[in-house]
Amino acid sequence: MWTGDVGSTTWEEVNAIEKGGNYQFPYDEGGRKTTWDKPASVVGAEHGPIWTYQHTAYDRSVIGGTVYRGKRWPQLDGKYIFGDNYSGTFWAIPAVNRRASTPLVLGQADKYAQRGFTSIVQTPDDRILVTIMGSSSAPNGEIVELVPKAHAASASIAGAGAVAAAVTEAATMSAADVNQSYVTNCARCHGETGHGDGPDAAMLKEQLGAAPTNFHTPAFKAKDRAEIRKAIAEGGAAVGLSEAMPPWSSLFEDREIDALTEHVRNMPAE
């Protein structure tokens, strides 16, 4: 049995489950000791993770998948296929109960930031299907098929170029949608109220020397709209700030970047 084990604030894990196994949370996460004390006696046999990765602005929510046992894609036979809901990235590692090396990157969903994929299954005819959540403001959730890029659509159930009808989304976002986007994507670093005090703020300051921006300060209020938008779209380095602020243009549509720009600009001054 295999599981994608969503972490607390720093690490994600893939574990191979065994009868009577103890997977060490909360005193160990991602193979690293936490601030929790290990109990004097541990129930069951301790097992470390098969694969771990550290949270970034993109990768932060592992989704357990399936061990592929099929003939359609022999290069994946015997591999555990999994990924990250937030970044939409798919990976594969050998389905053996020992620490894995660098995973094989299989692809990326076209929805991100908790709108990404939620499950991977193998069908009776050895295809690999993926469910994608979609957004709350448009009917764009999907079931898609994972196929090699070289085979293109001709290898899929949909056939050569057959796709679902495109969904037209509104040009502007509602205030509720904008706030939800901010909370989902920005609050981990900048805090829900924009004071630079999100749950990852201390880690960023300690490990990278980069304190997240407080959107209420006079220094931030002095910035013009173009600079703020560029920082969101192209990342902190594009405006002379830390690379800890990643670029979001590959994940967000222009309308979402515009909406988030106005959202943080409109936070009240201290």
Contact 46, 22 (CB under 8 A): yes
Contact 47, 18 (CB under 8 A): yes
In this prediction, residue 165 carries a pLDDT of 44
pLDDT band at 177 (very low <50, low <70, confident <90, very high): confident
Provide CATH 2.120.10.30 ranges for the chain.
Answer: 2-155
Architecture of domain 175-265: Orthogonal Bundle (1.10)
Euclidean distance between CA atoms 77 and 238, whole angstroms: 42
Q: Which residues pair with 62 in a beta bridge?
A: 84
The b-or-e profile of 45-79 (16+ CB within 10 A means b, else e) is: eebebbbbbebebbbbbbbbbbbbebeebeebeeb
Euclidean distance between CA atoms 132 and 229, whole angstroms: 28
Contact 75, 22 (CB under 8 A): no
Q: pLDDT tens digits, residue range 30-53?
A: 888 988 999 999 999 999 999 999
For residue 155, pLDDT over 70 is answered with no
In this prediction, residue 164 carries a pLDDT of 46
Phi, psi of 173 (to 5 degrees): -110, 150
Domain 2-155 CATH assignment equals 2.120.10.30: yes
In this prediction, residue 20 carries a pLDDT of 95
Q: pLDDT tens digits, residue range 5-30?
A: 998 878 999 999 999 999 999 999 98
Provide CATH 1.10.760 ranges for the chain.
Answer: 175-265
pLDDT band at 104 (very low <50, low <70, confident <90, very high): very high
Mean pLDDT of 238-258: 87
